Structure formats: C-alpha cells, structure tokens
Amino acid sequence: MKKYIALLLLVAVGFSSCTDFLVEENKTQYSQEYIFESEDGLALATSALYVLHRNYLGEDQESNTSWAVERGTDIVMTNGGTGNFYGIYDPNHLKPSAAQVSRMWTLMYQIIGRCNEIIAAGEAMEQTDELKVILAEAKAFRAQSYFLLLRTYDRIWLNTEPVTWENVNDKREYRPATQDEVFDLLYSDLRYAVENLDWLSYQPGRFNQAAARSILAKVALWKKDWQTALNQADSIELSGQYRLLDSPKKVFEGADLNHSEALMVVQWSENPGGNLSTATPQGHQLSTLFISMSRRPIGGSNKEACSVENWGYTFGRMLPNPYLLSLYDQKKDARFNDWFIHRYKNTRDVDVEYGKVVVKPGEYFPETKDGKVDQDILPGCTKHGDVDTRELFASRGYKDFILYRLADVYIMGAEAAYRLGDQTKAKEYFNKTYTRAGNAAFTGTLTLQHIIDEEAREMCFENDRWYFLKRLGLLIDQVRKYAGNEGWEASLAGRTNLPANPHFVRWPIPEEEIINMGADNFPQNVGY
C-alpha cells in the first residue's frame, strides 16, 4: 500500500503550466515505461489525477483558490482572511501577480498535462474496455480543468500534446484559443466519457457517466446549446440511477456523502492517500469557512468554546447574507433551517458578558450586539459543517465534498427547457428541488428570475454561483445590488469596486505566464 501511495504522489507531481519541464529521475521500482506503456500503469496515473484534484480543493482557507470566487457573489458576505480581496474586488490586490490567480492556472494545467500524457499513451495501445474507462476518466478530468479555466479567465491556452523528453525543448505556439476550439474539445472529451463510463462509479469518488453528463450540460448552457443541456438532464433523470433524498437536511448530513443524490463525491479520510499528507493526517478546512466564529464571544479556550451546537471550530470567511436568507419562505422552506445556523448558544458553564447583556449557560446570544451587527454571531451555512470527523476544537476535518449533485442537474434542466419554451418540462424540473424543500408546487409562468432565485436557494455555497451569474451576464448587477451585509460595512466594497472595474468578471492571466508565453503571442486580459 505504501508503495502504491508513493507512486500516486510521484505521478501527481510535475507538469506546471506553460513553462518548460525537466526530465524526472525515477526513484521507485516503477519506470516511466511501466506507467505510460502498460494499462495498469495508466490506471495508476489516472488515480493520481484524483489526488491532485482533491489537494487543489483542500487548500488551506487562507490560500484556497478553488473557493476564491465564492466570496464575490450576490449571496455572500465576505469576511476577512487573505482571499478577502476577491470578495470585495479590491483593485489593489486583484491583479496578475496575485498568488491565487497563478495557483488555479498552474494546478489546472498540471492536471491537463498529466491527462494529455495518459490519453496519448492510451490511444496508442490496443483498445480494451478497461482502457477505454481509463481514457474516459482522463478526458473527463481534462474537460473539467479546461472548463474551469475558460470560465475564470475567458482566454486560455489550449494544448492536447503530451510533453516528452523528445519534444520538451520544441518551440510551442502560444496563442489564445478561440471559443469554438475550446468548446469542440470539451464536447469531444465529455462525449467520449459519456459513451465509455457506467452510470455508477466502479469506486467511490471516480468519474461516472452521470458526472460527465452533468459537466456537459453546464458546458452546453455556456455555449447556449439548450437542447444538448436538456438532453443531458433528461438522460440522467431517465437512467433511474439517481434520486433526490427526501429532505434537504440529509443531503449534507454526516461525513460520508456517497448517496443517491450525489453524482460524484470527493473522498476524504485519515487513511494514507485520503488526505493532504502521507505523514501526519491533514484534512481540509471547508468546515470552517462558512460559519461565524462564535468561539470568540463565547470566550475561554478553543476546547471550551467549540461545541456541536455551534458546529465546532470556525473561521467565518464566507457567510450567507441577508439577501440570500430573504429568498427562502422561512415558514415553509426546510432549507432555511436545515442548511443554516441562525443563533449561537453559550455552551460554557459560565455567564458570558456580551455588550450590555449577560448570556447565561445554555442561552442563545442575541442577534445583535447592542443593536449592531457582530460578524462573529451572524448566520452561517452548515452544508460543509463537520462535527463527525474532527475534534470540535480542530480546524481540519475529513468530511466528503459533493462535486456534482442531482439537484444542480434539475436546475440546469429547468433553465434549458425554459430557454426552449417548454414551460411544462421547465416547471417539472424546477419543482423537484422546490417542493422537496416543502414549498407548494409552482404552477404559474416560470421566468428566468425564478430559476436564478432557486439556484441560490438550492446551490448556495457549492462553488458555482459566481460562474452562474457571469454566464447570465448578471454578475455585476447582482453584486451591485445585494453583495455583502449592510450592517457590516467592510463587506460592501464589492458593490462599487466591481461596477467600477467590469473587467473583474474575469481573472487576469498570471503575470509569469504572460512572460513565459510572450505578451505579443498571448496579451494580458483587457483592463489588467
């Protein structure tokens, strides 16, 4: 097992963005020939892609690139930390030299580079059913990575050639790919994945046909190919392999999220290869990001202040804002209570002075501190909350993360049907999540605004809202109107910074990549 994990980590390193590469000296019994000239070797190389991707999603809260865009939406109050400038669109920090701008680009091209190597090697072998599954996984990863880059930066370098010792020093053509070129590759890779993957993963956490179709549906929406998007939603629905759980609360309950609503789940555990370290287990910090830091007003040590009732140790970097909470029918919609904590309890056995009041043991803190907003007792989203896999006073845990979910497919299906003028099917898909939450079925004329609001209610804090609003051309307007919390002035800067800097709807190309590729070949995004 240790040798297997060591190999995964070995093949997970290398390939970094658009720069040149060094020939790796192999330190294990596994040769380059074994990895890229045998089906078993390619299977191991593909497994390493999951390691790379999990480590990317699990970056520490201060540097987490994958969640940086989550801060800058209409439904979030961004609240301090190194990445806060993404939430308030600070022009002094959102620039080509920003570390997070480089990190996403570099890590995605690292994954893409490994995918290119696996695909090229696999396509040169005799095609077996098992090999086709390996290729399908690699192509799904490549599509997923390029799609993230396209949505974030708008202009990307498209490359499908593997880097070998024979071509490492060859001159490369660096130019921004056209939208058609990118979409052609995404469609090709994802359709191959759909054709060669089973509906259910052969191992938890692996790509399957449903996950590939979910990505293809989202790609099609970006391309305004409504029929393809609807076809993917219909196929997943008609497969009979997935179903919504009977209550919102169950979707994110516990640590193991491999259930009938989850199309693909990023697996975490304390076992070797299941976390960010092969030495001392090191989990992710997602459980800390979305719930207020109530331990501060509670006082005492972290061990004394952190409790199950308040969801343990938290940082409170991204919190649900009043606009998001206003979208729920608080009396009918179960999500309002199932997915949010609204009040925090004094769980110590001593009185706590809080402004002008004293909060006794077992009592809840008032909603404001002397009539003013207190960032440490604001409502939090508990979707990623974790009281199962960590000590309550620890900052790291091992709760799984749902990457693709059936509810999102239904919302995409509702939009695609709406765009095609099919009100009956649009409402059918819309009502799946809407009524599951306890609301009466919607029977009127469905509008795009209904879908926008349901996407916020259902998919909040699942890392897609920024891209969703950007695709619709509504990001600037929604941020201007609703971002932040009016009671916490520091969270409102995005309302003016984004409209004043409309180029912030895309990230800058990393500074070092412009240097590597040449500004004449690959100019910086306009505005930076």
* Cβ atoms < 10 Å from Cβ of 258: 13
pLDDT digits (tens, 9 = 90+) for 220-269: 999 999 999 999 999 999 999 999 999 999 999 999 999 999 999 999 99
Q: Is residue 128 part of a domain?
A: no
Q: Give the pLDDT mean for 11-34.
A: 50
pLDDT digits (tens, 9 = 90+) for 25-51: 444 556 678 888 899 999 999 999 999
d(CA 31, CA 26): 7
- For the ranges 129-138, 157-166, 186-195, 343-352, the lowest mean pLDDT is seen at 157-166
d(CA 444, CA 9): 54
d(CA 289, CA 311): 11
Number of H helices, E strands in the chain: 22, 8
CA atoms within 13 A on the CB side of 152: 28
- For the ranges 21-35, 379-393, 394-408, the lowest mean pLDDT is seen at 21-35
Q: How confident is the model at residue 527 (pLDDT cuts 50, 70, 90)?
A: very high
**E strand or H helix at 17:** none
d(CA 299, CA 354): 10
Q: Is residue 99 part of a domain?
A: no
| CB-based contact 409:340 (threshold 8 Å) | no
pLDDT number for residue 3:
39
Q: Give the pLDDT mean for 407-427.
A: 98
Q: Is residue 387 part of a domain?
A: yes
> Cα 124 from chain centroid?
33
DSSP class of residue 502 equals G
Residue with more model confidence, 116 or 36: 116
pLDDT at 363 over 90: yes
Amino acid at 366: P
pLDDT number for residue 30:
62
HEC assignment per residue over 258-289: CCCCEEEEECCCCCCCCCCCCCCCCCECHHHH
pLDDT number for residue 512:
96
> Looking at the 3D structure of the chain, how many domains does it have?
1
Q: Give the pLDDT mean for 153-170.
A: 90
As beta bridge partners, residue 404 has 264
Q: Is residue 40 part of a domain?
A: no
pLDDT number for residue 16:
42
Q: Is residue 252 part of a domain?
A: no
pLDDT at 82 over 70: yes
Q: Tell me the average pLDDT of the chain.
A: 93
* DSSP per-residue letters across 311-324: TSS----EEE-HHH
Domain that holds residue 344: 284-399
Rounded to two decimals, what is the model's pTM? 0.94
Q: Is residue 354 part of a domain?
A: yes
User: Token match 């090999």: residue?
Assistant: 131
CA atoms within 13 A on the CB side of 2: 1
**E strand or H helix at 352:** strand 352-354
Assigned token pair, 117: 């190597």
Q: Give the pLDDT mean for 419-443.
A: 98
Residue with more model confidence, 364 or 279: 364
pLDDT digits (tens, 9 = 90+) for 443-466: 999 999 999 999 999 999 999 999
pLDDT number for residue 61:
62
pLDDT number for residue 10:
45
